[in-house]
Structure 1
Amino acid sequence: MGTVDYVVVFLYAIAMVWLALVASRRSKGTDAYFAAGHALPWWMAAISHHVSGYSAVVFVGFAGKAASAGLSMWMLFSVPCFIAMMIGAKLWAPRWSRLKVLTPVQYLEERYGVSVRIAVALSGIGVKFIDLGIKLYAIAIVVQVSTGWERTPIIIVGGVVTCLYVLIGGLWATVLTDLVQFAVQFFLSIIVVTAVLAAVGGWGSMWDQLPEANSQLFNPDAGLPIEFWFVYLIVVIFSYNGGTWGLAQRFIAVGDARDTQKAALLSGALFLVYPLVIFVPAWSAPLLMPEFFDPITAAPIAGFDPDQTYVLVAKQILQSMAPGLLGLLVCSMFAATMSMIDSDINSLAAVFTKDVWERGHKQPLTDAQLTTVGRLATLAFGTAVLGAALAVDGSAGIGKVFSQTVQLFAAILPPVAIPLMFGMLFKRATVRGALGALVGGFAAFAILKNIYPDSFAIYTGGEMIVASIIFFGDGFLSRRTPEKEAEVEALFERIEGRPS
């Protein structure tokens, strides 16, 4: 990057500080800090949900895989997200809004009991840090390729900035950042895509010059067969509709149930279209940078890190157009990743504050005390994420960003999401089935991952099947007390919007 790029980075940083300070004025009290006071406009929730659904991992890991896998990566990332949000707009988004809670886990005590609430809270918190560490590591790759700086200092500075930002501004700060960086990133991505397509002769010419398998919706040769896609689709349905707590927060923060439906639909439409502008430069990379790819298969050659693909193409395009554009791109990608990490840290802190600390505290706590606990939890979780990113950076065997993200996605989501998500839909579910799904799912993943380490469809699909059988099977076979039946019925009247 040149001098103008660094000036742009500095000015962008100043703007982010200003946004954090603005947000801090709207984040007084736990309700505002964790749920934006349940007053988030639906269109802001939609854009924030969309932006929080991807990060530098998409620009690094997914784009790197797209260079060799072709159109199947759009089919893997965009189409499942779109389908997930179309389903979620009907089933889950309005229910999150009607719950009127601060955290996604909070309602589980009323639904099942305190044991499920705490078990899901601790399970979700305990397994999330490596996932967030990989995301922080991914943005360090972007900055390193753009600047030539060492990766470790980038991780440390990025982690500190990310933690302080959400510590100051809460959920409002994350949402405001999402809006700014979405506009900047969209503008720059359109510039890059237009230049790339012009350089390769257009959309059709690009595919004509690439291997035939790259233009197929499913590409088994790249490790993305249809069974992989189907299992990943189910995981994404869980994640984007609330299994990832930071995304559930966007719906919780909207006051009206109908507005959450509009937010889900808009987010889904963005997921279907916008990733194309990310993947086109990656698809064109074998043509624009032939020295890094096999001319027959378009696979990356030995010694080339495919995680750098998108950044190298964007750098090549933007540096030739105008000074400052590359710095702006780096800023927007950093902001996207910061937003995703901040979103999860905010939701983790909310869950710890409400579902672990307050629930386990014998004496009532004031709102000011809870806000202080929430900020301290934010600081602690941010530090843990930084530590995880440094561990990823220092691990020679961590593997590529795409494969590690997908594996962790699979390990974390289904056992936690099944009792959380289907607790809103399946009335007969019991505390025993919920806890059994949690334990059984994690156990199935551990066993199957050890036996079939390279088969995502088997170890993730098997995990989901085991957890589902336990959850639904116990629900159909067990009986609850009349008191619990009445409590569950009252909850369903509320979340379904029925008059009591």
Structure 2
Amino acid sequence: MSIDLLIIIGYFLVMIGCGIAGIFFAKNNEDFLVAGRNLRFWMYFPCLASVILGGGATFGSVKLAYQFGISGSWVVLMYGFGVMSMGILLSSKMANLRVISLSEMLEVRYAASARYISAIISCIYTAMIAVVQVIAIGTILHAFFGWDMVTSMIAGGAVSLLYTLLGGMWSVTITDVIQFALMMVGVFGFLVPLSIDKAGGLDAMFNAVPQSYFDPFAIGWDQLLMYFLLMYLGIMIGQDIWQRVFTAKSGKVATTGTVTAGFFSVLWGGAMAICGMAAFILLPDLDEPQKALGQLVVTVMPSGLLGMVVAGLLSTLMSTVSGTILASSTLIINDLVKPFRSDMDSKQEMFLSRAITLAVGIVVLLLAVVIGDVMHALDIAYALLSGCIFVPVVAGFFWRQATAQGAVYSIIVSGIVTTVCIMTYGAFSAHTIIYGMLSSAVVLVVVSLMTGPPNPAQLAEWEARLAASENYDADNMTDEERAAQAQTAALH
């Protein structure tokens, strides 16, 4: 057995061990789903960065850089800029809301019906992301160790599912900190410098690639628009990202950690661009550009270090798998089951959370094995997420006149429009997202003005939460806030 294979097996065992350790921290359902809202910056930042930088931000960026040069990094740059924008505009407000999901936020601001509809859409989105990452894990293990694809996908996906199932977000947090360190060491410590050295140094690299590879817009303005609509806007309202924000100990941690994670994503995009151009020089005749990163690793990494770098690349995928499986199961338990099972005690909630997490994980593994390629389905999920949910979410934070009726009809109408556009133009089309968001905005504004003003008690509770200090709790509420909350409770 090779040293590199031993390193990967050891890596899997460490991940499972972290899952077992997470059991001791997950004492209740809030611990299981959002790590007790107790993460300080040094844990919060690497956890958020890890879930952002999955297969698209890593393998996809290298593939595009192999084809277009530095403009291929726009995919991960849009992720980074989107997360930084969310950190500046929304993260502290999100942390103060003390909710567990994006859909729950929509109920607090609007109505229960908005919660249910958005939960279904977001659940599909997060599950599809998990499926794509499992397929990518299988591709890595198949390429480096010769395992068949089914075995490779099940092995990597099952390990991710197991440690997530054991301790929930606490297990995910512990593993993400380790995975982030492996990503840093494997990519920045070994892969990038050795790729540059193997290609003859930076000067030689710059002289060996076409001049267009240094044009930041060579990939085309139409592609940039799509990356903005799908990645920049989509990541700002992804449940997998929001759920990490809800783990922050305070609004300050949420803001600084989120902005830092976004900035790190931009640095990651630069590293992937270098790797893609190095692969273009060293491997000019690849039949499929998507193989660029895997072939580059094999070409430049010596035995022993190869296992380290493969573990780092697996980390980028497994952290996203665990985060998205947990996000999908959270939407089901918190937004589609719990509202109708308010009589559950803490132990019952924990058991149900684990059962649903297991079920979601099994479905994800089966889809990965049976389908094999779900990129089109992922495009559809992103299109629905951005086209249907983005406008009501942002309006909830920044437009006081938005009403529950406006939000619900906005989601329904834009869902119909987006679906029709997907069938007409395709999921990866600017028309689909633009028409979806435009219809969402128009319906939200028109219906809100027709049915307004919003419920004053519910709006008062919402604004009280947004204005809360980082130690917000019921004991610190003003008399007005308590009165507004009492009125809202009576209405419900």
Q: Does TM, scored on the shorter chain, surpass 0.5?
A: yes
Contact 2:87 2:256 in 1 (8 A): yes
The equivalent residue for 1:297 is none
- Cα drift, residue 234 of structure 1: 4.2
The number of aligned residues is 470
CA RMSD of aligned residues (A): 2.2
The equivalent residue for 1:117 is 115
Within a 5 Å distance, the mapping from 1:333-344 to structure 2 comes to: 333-344=313-324
Within a 5 Å distance, the mapping from 1:268-287 to structure 2 comes to: 268-287=262-281
- Cα drift, residue 216 of structure 1: 1.1
TM-superposition CA deviations, 1:235-257 (whole Å, max 9, x none): 4343333x111111121111211
Contact 1:47 1:178 in 2 (8 A): yes
- Of 441-450 and 65-74, more deviation after overlay is shown by 441-450
TM-superposition CA deviations, 1:256-293 (whole Å, max 9, x none): 1112111112112101112322231212212101232x
1:74 equivalenced with 2:73 (yes/no): yes
Within a 5 Å distance, the mapping from 1:1-400 to structure 2 comes to: 3-78=2-77, 80-190=78-188, 191-219=190-218, 224-241=219-236, 243-292=237-286, 304-319=287-302, 323-361=303-341, 364-393=343-372
Question: What is the distance in 1 between the residues matched to 2:266 and 2:314?
Answer: 22
- Cα drift, residue 107 of structure 1: 2.8
- Cα drift, residue 405 of structure 1: 4.5
The equivalent residue for 1:487 is 458
- Cα drift, residue 371 of structure 1: 0.8
TM-superposition CA deviations, 1:277-315 (whole Å, max 9, x none): 2231212212101232xxxxxxxxxxx222211011011
**Which runs of 5 or more residues in structure 1 are unaligned?**
293-303
- Cα drift, residue 84 of structure 1: 2.1
Contact 2:69 2:213 in 1 (8 A): yes
Question: What is the distance in 2 between the residues matched to 1:29 and 1:255?
Answer: 17
Contact 2:172 2:323 in 1 (8 A): yes
Match of 2:429 among 442, 448, 456: 456
- Cα drift, residue 9 of structure 1: 1.4
**TM-score for the superposition, normalised by structure 2:** 0.89
Contact 2:65 2:273 in 1 (8 A): yes
Question: What is the distance in 2 between the residues matched to 1:336 and 1:48?
Answer: 11
Question: What is the distance in 2 between the residues matched to 1:315 and 1:338?
Answer: 20
The equivalent residue for 1:300 is none
Letter of the 1:141 counterpart: T
Question: What is the distance in 1 between the residues matched to 2:105 and 2:56?
Answer: 31
The equivalent residue for 2:487 is none
- The percentage of counterpart residues that share the same residue type is 19
Question: What is the distance in 1 between the residues matched to 2:141 and 2:270?
Answer: 22
The equivalent residue for 2:485 is none
- Of 107-116 and 414-423, more deviation after overlay is shown by 414-423
Contact 1:436 1:470 in 2 (8 A): yes
TM-superposition CA deviations, 1:168-192 (whole Å, max 9, x none): 0211111221111211221121222
**SS in structure 1 at match of 2:96:** helix
TM-superposition CA deviations, 1:328-364 (whole Å, max 9, x none): 2222222321211211221222222222111012x51
The equivalent residue for 1:497 is 468
- Cα drift, residue 120 of structure 1: 1.2
- Cα drift, residue 473 of structure 1: 3.2
TM-superposition CA deviations, 1:347-405 (whole Å, max 9, x none): 222222222111012x5110111111100110111011112211332x6xx6xx5x764
Letter of the 1:232 counterpart: Y
Contact 1:429 1:475 in 2 (8 A): yes
**TM-score for the superposition, normalised by structure 1:** 0.88
- Cα drift, residue 231 of structure 1: 4.3
**Which runs of 5 or more residues in structure 2 are unaligned?**
470-477, 482-492
TM-superposition CA deviations, 1:1-48 (whole Å, max 9, x none): x61111111222221122111111101110110111111112321211
Contact 1:48 1:175 in 2 (8 A): yes
Q: Structure 1 residues 406, 306: CA separation in 2 closer, same or farther (over 3 Å shift)?
A: farther
Contact 1:97 1:256 in 2 (8 A): yes
Question: What is the distance in 1 between the residues matched to 2:178 and 2:269?
Answer: 18
Question: What is the distance in 1 between the residues matched to 2:231 and 2:75?
Answer: 10
The equivalent residue for 1:299 is none
TM-superposition CA deviations, 1:52-74 (whole Å, max 9, x none): 01213333333222210211122
Letter of the 1:61 counterpart: G
Contact 1:407 1:456 in 2 (8 A): no
Contact 1:238 1:414 in 2 (8 A): no
Letter of the 2:335 counterpart: D
TM-superposition CA deviations, 1:55-102 (whole Å, max 9, x none): 133333332222102111223422x23332332223210011101122
Contact 1:185 1:332 in 2 (8 A): yes
Letter of the 2:349 counterpart: L
Letter of the 2:227 counterpart: Y
Contact 2:4 2:308 in 1 (8 A): yes
Contact 1:81 1:268 in 2 (8 A): yes
**SS in structure 2 at match of 1:32:** helix
TM-superposition CA deviations, 1:124-167 (whole Å, max 9, x none): 22444333212211121111111122111111222222211100
Contact 2:61 2:73 in 1 (8 A): no
- Of 137-146 and 456-465, more deviation after overlay is shown by 456-465
Contact 2:240 2:324 in 1 (8 A): yes
Letter of the 2:334 counterpart: K
**SS in structure 1 at match of 2:398:** coil
Question: What is the distance in 2 between the residues matched to 1:260 and 1:139?
Answer: 30
Contact 1:8 1:328 in 2 (8 A): yes
TM-superposition CA deviations, 1:454-487 (whole Å, max 9, x none): 8622222222222222223323343146xx1221
Question: What is the distance in 2 between the residues matched to 1:130 and 1:410?
Answer: 12
Q: Structure 1 residues 444, 202: CA separation in 2 closer, same or farther (over 3 Å shift)?
A: farther
- Of 383-392 and 125-134, more deviation after overlay is shown by 125-134
Contact 1:141 1:308 in 2 (8 A): no
